[in-house]
Amino acid sequence: MKNRYFFIPVIILLMSAAATFTAPAQVFDELRENMVRTQIKARGIDHAPTVEAMRNVERHLFVPTARRNRAYEDGPLPIGHGQTISQPFIVAYMTQLVNPGPGDKVLEIGTGSGYQAAVLAEIVDQVFTIEIVSELGESAARLLKELNYDNVEVKIADGYYGWEEHGPFDAIVVTAAAEYIPPPLVDQLKDGGKMVIPVGSPFMVQNLMLIEKNGDEITTRSIMPVTFVPFTRKE
């Protein structure tokens, strides 16, 4: 009986240590490179700036510490406040769809942990990103500043209205599912600009839509089924 009870706390301590263990930087580098090879390039992401950005941005820094060892898995992860950091492939795919390049100015709706903004900031000149959850927006702003993403500006606000004073934008990336495409965002697209946005009912499968603006002509195209957290509005 003594031996049986002696081992119980040892097992609990080992389980606790495994849950909080954080891999060394070199391991994260290897995991990130494997992510790029097996989740990004293998699935057809061939926009070179996007691939390089996915390789450069340290995704594990944008997830809660307790989940860092899962940062490069093929799926989304919770980041608190009912929000998630999107699956790496989806981040890369949405980035590729808007075809960002040097000199571009991009608006992101739904900062979350700041990961998508960092990926865009690796490619374009300016990123303006809006988050409605103040705790997330403030945390993302601090982290992006610590990582020297000086070309990213974070605003705590309702993303439905965009950021008119900094528009028009070459591209807009929306990382939450709206029931319809917000007209103010379409208005803030440049001529020739692109917007990617999941559209559909909350907590159901939505459609990832690509919107392109050419003069007075607005074209929309359904790309693929996706599942995103709902687009949150201020009451």
Q: Out of 86, 134, 139, 201, pick the active-site residue.
A: 86
Residues 6 or more apart from 98 whose CB is under 8 A from it? 106, 170, 171, 172, 173, 194, 195, 196
Distance of CA 92 to the CA centre of its chain: 9
- The CA–CA distances, whole Å, from 167 to 104, 133, 170, 171 equal 11, 22, 9, 10
Q: Is 99 helix (H, G, I), strand (E, B) or coil?
A: coil
Q: For the residues of 158-220, what is the DSSP string, one character each?
A: -GGG--GGG--EEEEEE-SBBSS--HHHHHTEEEEEEEEEEES-TTS-EEEEEEEEETTEEEE
Is 222 annotated as catalytic?
Answer: no
- Please give the helix or strand (H or E) that residue 28 lies within, else none: helix 25-35
Q: Is 233 helix (H, G, I), strand (E, B) or coil?
A: coil
From the CB of residue 225, how many other CB atoms can be counted at a distance below 10 Å? 11
Phi, psi of 202 (to 5 degrees): -60, 145
The closest of 34, 32, 83 to 57, measured between CA atoms, is 32
d(CA 168, CA 163): 9
User: Which residues participate in catalysis according to the annotation?
Assistant: 86
